[in-house]
Amino acid sequence: MNHRERHVLIVTCYGHFMSHFNMLVFPAVVLPLSGMLNMEMANVLGISFWMYLLFGITALPWGIAADRWGPIPLLLMFHFGAGLIALAAGSWIDSPAALSLCLAFLGCFSGIYHPAGLGWISKEVERISLGMAYNGIFGNLGLAAAPLMAGIVNRIWGPGRFSLHSAR
């Protein structure tokens, strides 16, 4: 594997990790959020509806955009957009409406990864199957790490500790 292929895999593996990490943090904090927001668990789960819907249905438009503008600008948009919106979600965790809006944007930004990242691997890595295998490992690590890390953070600090708007 040459330097260019390693670079592509480093960026895409991190992106795959983060796209799945983004989607699996919320279920790990539903129970503590339910208590913090004084809401039924079913209603707290509803806060994430648009995140999961947009994560899935935006794949087609993001794929068209990746074909038009290339994967690099879209992956930059994914990384910066998802990072900023995740900070916003954390700061407005005590407002169900604002949190739902932030999660919807998080789903939209996270939906960029699969069409852009996997397309980039298929075009730049000579051993495509091996590149996809490495990439798949990191996506699964994101799935596993999200509830673990969210649980640790919640256990140590609680769900609303870093909210900018709560009186904690």
If DSSP codes are grouped into helix, strand and coil, which group holds residue 143? Answer: helix
Phi-psi region of 125 (alpha: psi -120 to 50; beta: other; left: phi over 0): beta
H helices present in 38-162, as ranges: 41-46, 49-57, 59-69, 71-91, 96-110, 113, 119-124, 128-157
pTM here is 0.89
Q: What is the pLDDT of residues 3-58, one digit of tens each?
A: 999 999 999 999 999 999 999 999 999 988 998 899 999 999 999 999 999 999 99
- The residue extents of the domains of the chain are 23-31+46-155
